[in-house]
């Protein structure tokens, strides 16, 4: 097996990451696949919220500097 971490940022690196997740899918129990999809959507939402909060703080900081 090759060291996928030395290929960070490549399609091969991300394929290896997805392999680990997709290995949990069970043909006789859809709850695992559903949880993978729900987890992905939750992650997207959490990152979006984080970045929106960061932008609000940058805006607040900019206003403070401009008022100084």
pTM for the model stands at 0.77
Looking at residue 2, its pLDDT comes to 58
d(CA 55, CA 68): 20
How do residues 18-58 score in pLDDT, each as one tens digit? 999 999 999 999 999 999 999 999 999 999 999 999 999 99
Check whether 13 has a pLDDT greater than 90.
yes
Check whether 5 has a pLDDT greater than 70.
no
Q: Of all helices (H) and strands (E), which one includes residue 50? A: helix 31-67
Looking at residue 4, its pLDDT comes to 62
């Amino acid at each position: 097996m090759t060291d996928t971490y030395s290929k960070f940022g490549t399609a091969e690196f991300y394929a290896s990451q997805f392999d680990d997740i997709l290995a949990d899918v069970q043909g006789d129990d859809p709850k695992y696949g559903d949880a993978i999809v729900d987890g992905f959507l939750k992650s997207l939402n959490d990152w979006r919220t984080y970045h929106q909060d960061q932008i609000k703080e940058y805006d607040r900081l900019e206003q403070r500097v401009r008022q100084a």
